[in-house]
Structure 1
Amino acid sequence: MLMDFTRISVELVIGFFSLFIITQLLGKTQITQITPFDFISALVLGELVGNALYDNEIGVEKIIYSLALWGLLIYLLERITQKWRKTRGFLEGRPSIVIHKSVINKKELKKAKLDIDQLRHLLRSKGVFSLREIEYALLETDGTVSVMKKHPYDAPTNQESNIPPQNVTLPVPIISDGEILTENLDEYNLSEQWLLNELKKTGHRTPKNIIYAEWEEGKPIFFMPFSEEDRKINLSK
């Protein structure tokens, strides 16, 4: 009996610190921006430790091996999505515009396996109880909804403050991690040459110097350059 308690204690302590190390390596997004795959991964990691505690045939070395291998696979997946932007859509998914200019996009709802009632539930969780208030709504990869309200309903209520009406526009990312998002440019009839010309006006010769840029109708392009440290890393590749 004493040997059983000793074995369980040792395996539990090792499993505890192994899980702690893995979650630290994988980063905070495992909690703050959890995706369905992240959720499944967390369950698997917990099951690996939990099952090992009550199986006498599974030793400490097998627990460590299983946790290390699963953690390595998740880590490699994270590194792939960080290094190669084109893999992110397939491996992590993309946000879906489920409401576009006050019109519900049924095609995107169908892809996300959502109906109107489920969408309204997600919107209520954001404090939106009427669809008439919404200009844009995006279904994020973690299953939450981000909302951009129409101008009269934006808080504090512009209608009550007698602020003149303004057009509501959606910011569009056009550069990410030093790469031009040509699909977004094409969607809004923007040319790559136009973007390069605008970029030169800011003193940057190439998109590789820009970590993020977004375009919004009627506003100047927002450019966010890489930090000096990140820029040196990019140049060394």
Structure 2
Amino acid sequence: MYLHLTIELLSGFMGLFIITKILGKTQFSQVTPFDFISSIFLGELVGSAIYDEKATVLTMLYSLFLWGVLMVAMKILGQKSLKIRGLIDGNPSVVIRNGMIIRKELKKNRINIHDLMYLLRLANVFSVREVEYAILEPNGNISVLKKSNYETVKRQDLNLTLKPVSLPTTLITDGEIIWDNLKGVGFDKKWLEMQIQSHGINQVKDVLYAEWKENEGIYIVPYS
């Protein structure tokens, strides 16, 4: 029994090692949903073969071989065809273009404003007004190109005095007022409506996103 289990474990280990080497190097941050699901399936395949008394070493090795061939074939097809690569790994989506949030792309990728802001914060961007372009990558990360006036420059390099840093406060998301945040910055609904109207927007429900930042004022993104 123990000899049989040892042979299966060693065979499974070597099979997984060989398949991993054949498929090539991929950073964890570059793993696509297809790669992730394939890895889970491959692990489950080996685990089931090891603990299934009816399964033989040859059965497990054949399963690993067939799965490895399918994976390599998909990789090769993806390298030769952009359409197939997009189908397998997905395509990047521009969710902010020229400083404007592309709501259609958010809906297409099933993310909302809260998700977008979370991803931007992970990219060290705390205000959407700083962003010229934002691209949602196939692995779920976001790549950001900031507006030129928000590019990182060390103030000591320019011999400038340091100024206090403030975080932006979200006032509206998806057409709804965040009341606690509005009161927290010391304003009321009447003030907010006046700000919206000054930007040519009639109602709060027509605003996709709005934020307030000290010394920079309000920033409003209407529904496109």
What is the TM-score of this pair, normalised by structure 1? 0.63
Which protein has greater RCO, CA pairs closer than 8 Å, 6+ apart?
Answer: 2
Match of 2:3 in 1: 6
Q: Alpha-carbon deviation of 1:157?
A: 5.6
**Residue 22 in structure 1 maps to residue 19 in structure 2:** yes
Q: Is the alpha carbon distance of 1:95 and 1:25 closer, same or farther for their aligned partners in structure 2, counting shifts above 3 Å?
A: same
Q: Is the 8 A contact 2:12 2:60 kept in 1?
A: yes
SS in 2 for 1:99: strand
Give me the whole-angstrom Cα distance separating, in 2, the residues matched to 1:117 and 1:75: 38
SS in 2 for 1:138: strand
Give me the whole-angstrom Cα distance separating, in 2, the residues matched to 1:30 and 1:44: 19
SS in 2 for 1:147: strand
Q: Alpha-carbon deviation of 1:9?
A: 1.3
Q: Alpha-carbon deviation of 1:31?
A: 3.9
**Residue 78 in structure 1 maps to residue 70 in structure 2:** no
SS in 2 for 1:98: strand
Alignment counterpart, residue 126 of structure 1, candidates 94, 99, 123:
123
Q: Is the alpha carbon distance of 1:132 and 1:32 closer, same or farther for their aligned partners in structure 2, counting shifts above 3 Å?
A: closer
Q: What is the aligned length?
A: 158
Q: Alpha-carbon deviation of 1:24?
A: 0.8
Structure 2: gaps of 5 or more residues:
160-224
SS in 1 for 2:135: strand
Match of 1:69 in 2: 66
**Residue 49 in structure 1 maps to residue 49 in structure 2:** no
Q: Give the AA of the match of 2:140.
A: G
SS in 1 for 2:110: coil
Structure (1 or 2) with the larger CA radius of gyration? 2
Q: CA RMSD in A?
A: 1.8
Alignment counterpart, residue 90 of structure 1, candidates 87, 92, 96:
87
Quick one: percent identity of the two aligned structures? 49
What is the TM-score of this pair, normalised by structure 2? 0.66
Q: Is the 8 A contact 2:34 2:88 kept in 1?
A: no
Give me the whole-angstrom Cα distance separating, in 2, the residues matched to 1:45 and 1:122: 30
Matches within 5 A, 1:186-225: none
Match of 1:230 in 2: none
Q: Is the 8 A contact 1:23 1:30 kept in 2?
A: no
Give me the whole-angstrom Cα distance separating, in 1, the residues matched to 2:49 and 2:83: 38
Q: Is the 8 A contact 2:137 2:143 kept in 1?
A: yes
Give me the whole-angstrom Cα distance separating, in 2, the residues matched to 1:25 and 1:115: 38
Matches within 5 A, 1:176-191: none
